[in-house]
C-alpha cells in the first residue's frame, strides 16, 4: 500500500524538514487513519477523559534553543543523552558504548540508522500502535525519543542516563518515544529524567517500551517532574521473555495532571517484574497511576509496591492489577498500594485488583489510605521541630519501605532529594 | 533563673475531667518529684504542660518565665525550653536517631549559627558514653524497634543533647533494670545545675535515692494534695496512698482498692 502523503500536508512538511524515511511517515498516516475508529482507554477509577490529554495540534518540527537549559540543574553521569523538545543538546560517553555494540541514539538518528530495529519493535511487540486512541495519536505524532539497544551477553556496569526536557516555552505538544531493547543475557541500568521548562499549557504523550529478551536484566528508574501546565499520558510497558527481569523504580513527582499506565507482560517462563512507584501529589493536581502485571508464563513473578502522599487538594489514584492467565502455573502476583493523606481536602484511592485464571498460583494484595500518625507528629514536634519538618519526616518514614528496596544508591539519593523538594513546594500551598 | 508556674489547671479528655485545679511552681536549679496512684492525672499534667493537642485545658494557666504558654503549639514550647521524656515514646522510621537529635538542636538555633557537625558528634559520643549506649544506636531509626529500656535511655540522651530549661520525666524508671536505672540517673544528675529544673514522675522511691529531689508532690484525683521533702517519698513507700488519703481526710477511691 502506498500512501499519498500530499493528503497529509503536516506530515509531508515535517518529513521533508527532518528527512524522515518514507516508511515511518506512512506509519504515521496508518495510525492517524486507525485513530478515527479508536477510543480512549479506561483505567479503573482514573477519570482523565475530559482532560486535554489528546494530541490535537498538527505534527510540526520545532527547534529548541539549548540556551534555555543554562539555568537547569542536570546531574552529571558517565553515559548521558540530553534532549530538549525535539532537539538533542548533549551526548556524552556514548562512543565507548558504541565500541561494545551498544546503541544509544535519538529518535531521528534511530529512524535513519537502525530502521530494522524500529520496524521490528516500535509499537509492535510491547504495545500495538492501534491499541487505542492514545497509542494511535502517539504514533502519528512522535517527534522525539530514544533508542537504547544492548547486545547479547553485554553487561553494562554504569547506568545510561537520559534527560528529556519538555519545551513548554512554545505552544507545542510533546510526543516522545523510548525503546529500550535488552538482548539475551544482557544487563543494563537506565535512568530517565522527565522535566518541563516553560509554562505554556501543553499535552505530553510519552511511551516507553522495554523489551527484555531471555535472561536479560533491566533496571529502569525514572524521576518524573513534568510541569504544572502539562497534561500527560505516560505509558511504560515491559515485555519479558524467558527468565528476564525488569526492576522498575518510578518517582512520580510531576506537578500537572497525569495518567500513568505502567504494565509488564511476563510472557516467558520464569520472567520477573518488580514495580516500585513513589508518587507525591500537591496543589490541585491529579495523578492517576494504573500499574498492571500480567503473568502469562509459568513460574513468573510480578510484584507491585506503590506508596504515595497527597497534600492540599490534590488527588492520587493507585490502581494495582495482578492478572494471572490460565496456564501460568506456579505464578506469583503480589501487590501493595498505600496512600498517606496530609490534608483533609486531598483525595486518595487505592484499588487492588487480582484476576486469577489458574489455580496453581500465589497471589496477595494490601491497600490502605491513612492520615499522618498524630503521635509521631507530636513526638517530633515536642523536640522543637516545626510541624512541616516533622510532617516530612513522617512522610520519609512512610516512603522508606519503597525507597530502601530501590536497587541503586544514586537513584535512591536523587529520588530522596526530589521528594524533599516536591514536598517543600507542596507544603507552601497547604 | 527560669520559673515554670502552673496555676489552677483544669483539663478534660474526651469530656472526662482529669485535672481539677493543679498548682505548682518550680525554678531552674530544683528537682521536683510527683508521685501518685495510677490514673490520677500525672501523665495528663505532663502532656498538658508540653502541649499535646489531645488534652483540653478548660481553666487555669501555665507560665514560663511569666509568659503564658497555653496558646503556643508544642514545637514552640519545646524551643522555649520545655522537654518531656515520654512514658511511651513514638517510633519514627523516617530518620536516624543522630539526624533527629541534630535537627532538634538546630531547630532552636538561628540559621546562621547551626551546631557544627563535628561538635555535635563529639557531644553525642560523650552523652552516649555516660548512658552506656552503643554507637550503633545513633544510626538506627528513631526509637524503631528499641526495647522499652532502650527507649528510656534514648529519651535521656535527647535530654542531655537538647539541654532544655525544664525537663519533665514521666516514669523514666519504668521497665529499667537496676543497672540501667543507675545509668539513667547518672545522665539526669549530670544535667543538674542552676540552668536546669526537672519534674520527675515516678511510682518508686528507689529512683529518688539516685536522683534526690528538692520537693516531693503527691497527686491524687487530679490535684496535688501534699508537698514535702524527700522523706515524704519514703513515708509513701512505707504507708501507701490509702494511709495518706485517710490522714488528709480525702474522699477518693483508689484504683486498686476493693469497694
Ligand atoms: N487519651 C485518653 N482517652 C481517654 N482517657 C484518657 C486518655 N488519656 C488519659 N485518660 C484517662 O485519664 C486519667 C488520667 O490518666 P493519666 O495517664 O494522666 O494517669 P497517670 O497518673 O499518669 O497514671 P499512671 O500512673 O498509670 O501512668 C485516666 O483515668 C486515664 O484513663
Ligand atoms: Mg502516667
Confidence of residue B259 (pLDDT cuts 50, 70, 90): very low
Q: Please check whether residue B141 lies inside any domain of the structure.
A: yes
The full set of domain ranges for chain A reads 41-371
Which residues in chain B have Cβ-Cβ distances shorter than 8 Å to A380? 90, 92, 100
- The three cell numbers locating residue B231: 522523706
* Residue B251 or B23, more confident: B23
Asked if residue B254 has its Cβ within 6 Å of ligand 1, the reply is: no
Nearest to A400 among B74, B94, B158 (CB): B94
Whether residue A384 and residue B51 make contact (CB cut-off 8 A), yes or no, is: no
| Residues 6 or more apart in contact with residue A219 via CB below 8 angstroms | A159, A188, A189, A190, A246, A247, A249, A407, A408
Cell numbers placing A353: 485488583
| pLDDT the model gives residue A411 | 87
Asked whether residue B69 is domain-assigned, the answer is: yes
Question: Is B47 domain-assigned?
Answer: yes
Chain mean position to CA A266: 18
- The residues that bridge with A174 in the sheet, in sequence order, are A204
Cβ contacts (< 8 Å) between B93 and chain A: which residues?
397, 400
> Taking the CB of residue A287, how many other CB atoms lie within 10 A of it?
28
In ligand 1, the atom with minimum distance to the C-alpha of B54 is 1
What's the rounded Cα separation, in Å, for the pair B104 and B102?
5
Instruction: Tell me how many domains chain B contains.
Output: 1
Q: Do B95 and A374 touch (CB under 8 A)?
A: no
Q: Which residues of B touch A381 (CB under 8 A)?
A: 73-75, 78
pLDDT band at B239 (very low <50, low <70, confident <90, very high): confident
Phi, psi of B131 (to 5 degrees): -95, 10
Q: Is B13 in the pocket of ligand 1 (CB under 6 A)?
A: yes
Q: Identify the pLDDT of residue B102.
A: 96
Give contacts of B 18-77 with A, CB under 8 A: 50-54, 73-75
Residues of B in contact with A395 (CB under 8 A): 94
Contact B73 A395 (CB under 8 A): no
Residue of chain B nearest A394, judged by CA positions: B94
Q: Which of B50, B89, B107 sits opposite A385 (nearest CB)?
A: B107
pLDDT of residue B94: 81
| Amino acid B258: pLDDT | 57
Closest chain A residue by Cα to residue B51 = A382
Tell me how far the alpha carbon of residue B18 lies from the centroid of ligand 1, in angstroms.
8
CB of B253 closer than 6 angstroms to any ligand 1 atom: no
pLDDT given for residue A405 in this prediction: 87
A23 touches chain B (CB under 8 A): no
Complex ipTM, two decimals? 0.95
C-alpha cell at A301: 513473578
The C-alpha cell of A380 is what? Answer: 517530633
| Chain B contact set for A396 (CB, 8 A) | 94-95
The pTM assigned to this predicted structure is 0.90
B5: exposed, middle or buried (Cβ count in 10 Å: 0-12, 13-18, 19+): middle
d(CA A340, CA A279): 10
CB B38 near ligand 1, within 6 Å? yes
Question: Could you read off the pLDDT of B141-166 as tens digits, one per residue?
Answer: 999 999 999 999 999 999 999 999 99
Residue B6 CA to ligand 1 center (angstroms) comes to 19
Question: How far is ligand 2, taken at its centre, from the CA of residue B218, in Å?
Answer: 14
Q: Is residue B156 one of the residues assigned to a domain?
A: yes
Contact between B75 and A379 using a beta-carbon 8 Å cutoff? no
The arrangement of strands across the sheet holding A347-356 comes to A103-106, A144-150, A174-182, A202-212, A230-240, A258-266, A286-295, A315-324, A347-356
Nearest neighbour of A384 by CB, restricted to B54, B79, B95: B79
Distance from CA of B236 to the nearest CA of A (A): 32
pLDDT score, position A345: 95
Q: Does some domain include residue B52?
A: yes
Domain hosting B7: range is 3-248
Cα B17 from Cα B211, distance rounded (Å): 32
Site of grid cell 520472567: A271
pLDDT in tens for each of the 430 residues of chain A?
566 778 999 999 999 999 999 999 999 999 999 999 999 999 999 999 999 999 999 999 999 999 999 888 888 899 999 999 999 999 999 999 999 999 999 999 999 999 999 999 999 999 999 999 999 999 999 999 999 999 999 999 999 999 999 999 999 999 999 999 999 999 999 999 999 999 999 999 999 999 999 999 999 999 999 999 999 999 999 999 999 999 999 999 999 999 999 999 999 999 999 999 999 999 999 999 999 999 999 999 999 999 999 999 999 999 999 999 999 999 999 999 999 999 999 999 999 999 999 999 999 999 999 999 999 999 999 999 999 999 999 999 999 999 988 888 888 999 999 999 999 999 988 7
B41 CB less than 6 Å from ligand 1? yes
Q: Is the CB of B251 under 6 A from ligand 1?
A: no
Q: What is the pLDDT of residue A410?
A: 85
Cβ atoms of residues B187 and B220 within 8 Å: no
Amino acid at each position: 500500500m502506498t500512501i499519498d502523503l500530499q493528503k497529509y500536508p503536516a506530515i509531508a512538511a515535517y518529513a521533508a524538514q527532518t528527512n524522515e524515511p518514507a516508511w515511518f511517515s506512512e506509519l504515521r498516516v496508518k495510525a492517524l487513519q486507525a485513530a478515527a475508529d479508536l477510543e480512549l482507554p479506561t483505567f479503573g477509577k482514573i477519570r482523565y477523559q475530559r482532560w486535554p490529554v489528546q494530541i490535537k495540534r498538527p505534527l510540526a518540527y520545532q527547534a529548541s534553543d539549548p540556551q534555555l537549559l543554562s539555568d537547569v540543574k542536570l546531574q552529571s553521569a558517565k553515559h548521558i543523552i540530553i534532549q530538549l523538545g525535539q532537539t538533542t543538546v548533549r551526548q556524552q560517553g556514548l562512543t565507548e558504548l558504541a565500541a561494545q555494540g551498544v546503541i544509544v541514539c535519538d529518535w531521528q538518528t534511530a529512524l535513519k540508522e537502525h530502521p530494522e530495529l524500529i520496524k521490528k519493535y516500535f509499537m509492535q511487540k510491547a504495545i500495538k500502535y492501534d491499541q487505542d486512541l492514545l497509542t494511535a495519536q502517539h504514533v502519528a505524532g512522535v517527534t522525539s525519543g530514544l533508542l537504547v539497544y544492548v547486545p547479547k551477553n553485554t553487561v553494562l556496569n554504569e547506568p545510561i542516563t537520559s534527560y528529556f526536557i519538555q519545551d513548554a516555552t512554545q505552544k507545542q505538544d510533546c510526543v516522545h518515544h523510548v525503546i529500550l531493547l535488552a538482548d539475551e543475557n544482557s544487563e543494563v541500568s537506565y535512568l530517565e529524567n522527565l522535566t518541563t521548562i516553560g509554562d505554556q499549557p501543553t499535552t505530553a504523550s510519552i511511551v516507553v517500551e522495554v523489551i527484555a529478551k531471555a535472561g536479560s536484566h533491566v533496571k529502569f528508574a525514572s524521576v518524573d517532574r513534568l510541569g504544572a501546565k502539562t497534561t500527560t499520558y505516560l505509558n511504560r510497558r515491559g515485555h519479558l521473555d524467558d527468565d528476564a527481569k525488569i526492576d522498575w523504580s518510578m518517582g512520580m513527582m510531576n506537578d500537572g495532571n497525569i495518567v500513568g499506565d505502567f504494565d509488564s507482560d511476563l510472557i516467558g517462563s520464569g520472567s520477573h517484574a518488580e514495580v516500585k512507584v513513589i508518587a507525591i501529589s500537591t496543589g490541585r493536581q491529579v495523578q492517576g497511576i494504573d500499574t498492571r502485571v500480567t503473568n502469562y508464563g509459568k513460574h513468573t513473578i510480578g510484584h507491585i509496591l506503590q506508596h504515595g502522599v497527597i497534600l492540599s487538594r490534590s488527588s492520587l489514584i493507585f490502581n494495582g492489577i495482578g492478572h494471572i492467565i490460565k496456564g501460568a502455573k506456579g505464578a506469583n502476583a503480589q501487590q501493595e498500594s498505600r496512600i498517606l493523606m496530609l490534608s483533609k481536602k486531598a483525595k486518595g484511592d487505592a484499588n487492588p485488583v487480582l484476576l486469577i485464571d489458574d489455580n496453581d498460583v500465589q497471589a496477595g494484595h494490601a491497600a490502605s489510605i491513612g492520615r499522618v500518625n498524630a503521635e509521631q507528629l507530636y513526638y517530633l514536634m515536642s523536640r522543637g521541630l516545626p510541624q512541616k519538618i516533622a510532617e516530612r519526616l513522617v512522610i520519609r518514614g512512610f516512603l522508606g519501605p519503597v525507597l530502601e528496596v530501590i536497587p541503586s544508591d544514586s537513584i535512591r539519593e536523587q529520588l530522596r532529594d526530589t521528594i524533599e523538594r516536591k514536598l517543600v513546594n507542596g507544603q507552601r500551598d497547604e | 533563673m527560669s520559673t515554670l508556674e502552673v496555676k489552677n489547671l483544669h483539663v478534660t479528655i474526651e469530656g472526662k475531667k482529669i485535672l481539677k485545679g493543679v498548682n505548682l511552681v518550680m525554678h531552674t536549679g530544683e528537682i521536683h518529684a510527683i508521685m501518685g496512684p495510677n490514673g490520677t492525672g500525672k501523665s495528663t499534667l505532663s502532656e498538658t504542660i508540653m502541649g499535646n493537642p489531645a488534652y483540653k485545658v478548660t481553666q487555669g494557666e501555665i507560665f514560663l518565665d511569666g509568659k503564658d504558654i497555653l496558646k503556643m503549639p508544642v514545637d514552640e514550647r519545646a524551643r522555649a525550653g520545655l522537654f518531656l521524656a515520654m512514658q511511651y515514646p513514638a517510633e519514627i522510621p523516617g530518620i536516624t536517631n543522630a539526624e533527629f537529635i541534630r535537627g532538634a538542636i538546630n531547630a532552636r538555633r538561628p540559621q546562621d549559627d547551626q551546631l557544627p557537625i563535628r561538635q555535635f558528634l563529639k557531644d553525642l559520643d560523650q552523652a552516649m558514653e555516660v548512658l552506656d549506649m552503643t554507637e550503633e544506636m545513633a544510626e538506627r531509626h528513631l526509637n524503631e524497634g528499641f526495647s522499652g529500656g532502650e527507649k528510656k535511655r534514648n529519651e535521656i540522651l535527647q535530654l542531655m543533647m537538647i539541654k532544655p530549661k525544664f525537663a519533665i520525666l514521666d516514669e523514666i524508671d519504668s521497665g529499667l533494670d537496676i543497672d540501667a536505672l543507675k545509668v539513667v540517673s547518672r545522665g539526669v544528675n549530670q544535667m543538674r545545675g542552676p540552668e536546669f529544673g526537672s519534674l520527675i514522675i515516678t511510682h518508686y522511691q528507689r529512683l529518688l535515692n539516685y536522683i534526690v529531689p528538692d520537693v516531693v508532690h503527691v497527686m491524687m484525683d487530679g490535684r496535688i494534695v501534699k508537698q514535702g521533702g524527700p522523706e515524704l517519698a519514703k513515708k509513701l513507700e512505707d504507708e501507701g496512698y490509702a494511709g495518706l488519703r485517710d490522714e488528709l481526710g480525702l474522699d477518693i477511691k483508689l484504683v486498686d482498692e476493693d469497694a
